[in-house]
Structure 1
Amino acid sequence: MNIMYKRIKELASLNQVSIREIERCTGLPNGAVYYWKHGQASQKAIVAIADYFNVSADYLLGRIDKNER
């Protein structure tokens, strides 16, 4: 499983929000986050998700372990 997908799922659970709601609020197509389980997201999508959760893109990508900005 892709680290970014895993971290998005964790953040969604911590914030009690559905993946669909995240996609809707960030303007991503329905099913986009699930696709990233085995695929890659665009830079624009990564930034949108990072902004939504107020975390760094590096955290989402697994480059750092702390979810601070």
Structure 2
Amino acid sequence: MKYPRLRQMRIENHMTQKDVAEQLACSQNCYSKYERGEREMPLRYWVQLAGYYRVSLDYLAGRTDKKEPHHFGGRR
């Protein structure tokens, strides 16, 4: 499955595949395969990128058009 938002967010943030790969501590070749959907990206990388780009996981995966992550308020 392709995830076009991975590429979109990378470009919007003026990053190369190598830059993102360095953030994830993987190779550029490996990240390229994630971006093209040729390899399944581990959940920890999704979480890391969503935090880095400050978007929700659902937005990054293309499940919603709402960028903002949902913040849960704690009960007291």
**Superposition TM-score, scaled by structure 1 size:** 0.79
Q: Which amino acid aligns with 2:55?
A: V
Aligned residues: 66
Q: Distance in 2 between matches of 1:20 and 1:67?
A: 24
Q: Distance in 1 between matches of 2:23 and 2:7?
A: 15
- Kindly report which structure 2 residues correspond to 1:47-62, keeping only aligned pairs within 5 A, or say none: 47-62=47-62
Aligned mate of 2:32, from 31, 34, 44:
34
8 Å CA contact 1:55, 1:67 repeated in 2: yes
Q: What do residues 1-42 of structure 1 show as CA deviations (whole Å, max 9, x unaligned)?
A: 602xx1121111111111211121232x11232112122111
**Superposition TM-score, scaled by structure 2 size:** 0.73
Unaligned segments of structure 2, at least 5 residues: 70-76
Q: Which amino acid aligns with 1:34?
A: S
Unaligned segments of structure 1, at least 5 residues: none
- Kindly report which structure 2 residues correspond to 1:5-16, keeping only aligned pairs within 5 A, or say none: 6-16=4-14
Give the aligned partner of residue 67 of structure 1.
Answer: 67
In percent, how many aligned pairs have the same letter?
24
> Which structure has greater helix proportion?
1
* Distance apart, 1:58 and its partner CA: 1.0
